[in-house]
Amino acid sequence: MTDHLAGYDALAEQLTASGIDVENVKAKLHAQAIETPSWGYGNSGTRFKVFPWPGAARDVHEKLADAAYVHRLTGVAPSVALHIPWDKTGDWPALKAYAEDLGVKLGAINPNVFQDEAYKLGSLCSPFEDSRRMAIDHMIECCAIMKDAGSDLLSIWLADGTNYPGQDDIRKRKHYLYESLAEIYKHLPAGSRMLIEYKFFEPGFYHTDLSDWGTAYAMALKLGPQAEVLVDTGHHAQGTNIAHIVAFLLDEGRLGGFHFNSRKYADDDLIVGTQGPFELFTIFTELVSAGSLADNVAYMIDQSHNIEPKLEAMLQSVINCQAAYAKALIVNYDRLREVQAAGDVLAGYRALTDAYETDVRPLLAKVREEKGLHPDPIAAYRADGYAQKVAEERGTTDATGGYPSA
């Protein structure tokens, strides 16, 4: 354990000399919270194939148990996002109490309006009134679940779009979208928020009804202050500057939260920070530099691990978010603003890269030690036998518990 902490004193001295309040940085790392998704613990994968994993969670109780285990190792994953109807139960108070007994709480509620036959041509934007009604009623049900589960987030993603020119009236679908969301909005519990996610293509290949942050932002503005934009880090075209989107939405007071993952080309489900770690870092610098503007941002992971061990993949996802945040916290923002005002292009770049290239693992190990945790969650995971225990108890099942293959 001491190996992980060996460089802490030298790092703390280095940061202090550069004007960084190390105790303040540690306090912020202690307070960090990242929500993990229930569907990341069950068997789930791509449209081509779901590869069953020994010990993968088979129901919502096992998902919560695995999420609680990840939280025990990291100390920063205190809530679990649920997907309805995948995680639906007949006794929400009992499930809420079960989660709390494990040391976690129920988080964002995610409606499913993309798997039923009725949604073949869309859900909230469908040309068929009965399909739109079905989707609206489901989301109203999810608002009621929020009250019972103690959740304050309704996280909406739609698969709505068209494949061919002339397939449907795009402007009419836009009106259907707003009218549907407006009806759902009225049922949000007091003090809660509707997070509107976007995706620039797939499964609609001609157009997508919520295709980018602008369409989501426009809907949020029309709906009211409880509606905000959810940025999924995997849902952008190559060349898109996600840090710019984050900065803009923060300044407008409409950045609701994140679904953290990573993309190689145009979609998600890779572990966050594995493909573009510097991009993830720049996103966190915008959040840190925004100060109180980022106070209500929800940090959530959205990954369906297919070839990776479920628990280890989730641990790595949380750790990568911790590391990116830590690096963003040790940027000297006073110095950065000074050189920006002077128009010193490369000095500004170096102000960021100096922090990005710093090895923050001793700092994170120190914070974990102060929490009473093992300084290396991966080492703890590989040593404690939990994964082997659940594999023996649960076996291997074809049940998906998440995004199934086609």
pLDDT of 280 over the 60 cut: yes
Q: Which residues pair with 197 in a beta bridge?
A: 230
Eight-state DSSP code of residue 34: -
Q: How many CB atoms lie within 10 A of CB 73?
A: 25
Sequence ranges of the domains in the chain: 33-330+385-394
Average pLDDT of the residues in 217-232: 98
Topology (CATH) of 33-330+385-394: TIM Barrel (3.20.20)
On the question of pLDDT at 403 being above 60, the answer is no
Alpha helices in 186-292 (DSSP H): 213-223, 242-252, 277-289
- Reduce the DSSP state of residue 148 to 3 states and report it: helix
Q: What is the pLDDT of residues 340-380, one digit of tens each?
A: 999 999 999 999 999 999 999 999 999 999 999 999 999 99
- Residue 154's nearest CA partner among 209, 193, 181, 185 is 193
Looking up tokens 């919270």 gives 33
- Rounded distance between C-alpha atoms, residue 236 and residue 230, angstroms: 13
pLDDT of 5: 81
The CA distance from 404 to 39, in Å, is 10
pLDDT at 402 over 90: no
List the structure tokens of 393.
């108890």
- Read off the tokens for 64: 């919560």
The torsion angle over the Cα atoms of residues 126, 128, 130 and 135, rounded to 10 degrees, is 0
Tokens linked to 44: 């789930």
Whether 288 and 328 have beta carbons less than 8 Å apart is answered as yes
Instruction: Give the residue-averaged pLDDT of 174-199.
Output: 98
Compute the C-alpha angle 307/310/316, nearest 5°. 100
pTM of the model: 0.95
pLDDT of residue 2: 53
Q: What is the mean pLDDT of the chain?
A: 95
Amino acid sitting at position 51: F
What's the whole-number mean pLDDT along residues 162-189? 98
- pLDDT tens profile 41-55: 998 777 778 888 899
Distance between CA 357 and CA 355 in Å, rounded?
Answer: 6
Q: Are 324 and 277 in contact (CB under 8 A)?
A: yes
